[in-house]
Amino acid sequence: MRKKVLLAVVIGASLLNFSAGALDQSTPFGFSWGPVDKVPRPSLATKDENITRLIYFRDRLPPNELRDTEEIVLEVCKNEGLQQIIWISRLLSEREERDRVQAILAEGMRRYGEPEISERGVVNWSAGRTLLARGSDERGLYRIVMASTGPGYDTCSQEHGHPLSDHWMKFLPNNGVR
């Protein structure tokens, strides 16, 4: 099956079994933007320039609250603290993915109004500061990826040397292999 065209939208994570407040300016999963004092032990931690990446695989996540979650990535900037949270879904059937994306679009329009749509198909509600993208592999399985950004995101991204927005896109299916 051909790789589907990427659709990216800005919206919060609450429609994918997250907390009800995730579509507002708050931080998903109960974290706070900025300095990080205490986080759960990650499955893996990596460092890239001014970013420390804390990765939580499914085995480190609460199974009931995050049942559609494969992975969560926290990007902690050296000077600005936590500035990006990336949520990666498990592989979904076409129907599961379609239902979730439709609900997300409806909720985003309810909360933020009409979105901006880029040439690449990126749908953006600027007030949300959260991106959602979907992609599929040749088996017809879909993955949804969401990235929420904090108030120091732009400064951290400049210090990093390339846009942090490049990071979350790598989690989309690419011919069935990540």
Q: What is the pTM of this model?
A: 0.78
Residue pair 80/150 in contact by the 8 Å Cβ criterion: yes
Residue pair 51/86 in contact by the 8 Å Cβ criterion: no
**Cβ atoms within 10 Å, residue 84:** 25
pLDDT in tens, 30-48: 888 999 888 889 999 999 9
Residue pair 68/17 in contact by the 8 Å Cβ criterion: yes
Q: What would you measure as the largest C-alpha separation in the chain, in angstroms? A: 45
pLDDT in tens, 142-170: 988 878 889 999 999 999 988 887 787 78
Q: 58 pLDDT exceeds 50? A: yes
Closest C-alpha to 129, from 156, 151, 105: 151
Q: How confident is the model at residue 119 (pLDDT cuts 50, 70, 90)?
A: low
Q: Tokens at residue 52, please?
A: 């420390």
Q: What is the pLDDT of residue 127?
A: 67
Q: What is the pLDDT of residue 42?
A: 94
CB burial readout 8-45, b (16+ within 10 A) else e: bbbbbbbbbebeeebbeeebbbebebbeeeeeeebeee
Closest C-alpha to 98, from 106, 86, 87, 109: 106
E strand intervals along 11-110: 44-48, 51-57, 69-77, 81-89
Q: How far is Cα 12 from Cα 138, in angstroms, rounded to an integer?
A: 28
Q: What is the pLDDT of residue 7?
A: 31
Looking at residue 50, its amino acid is N
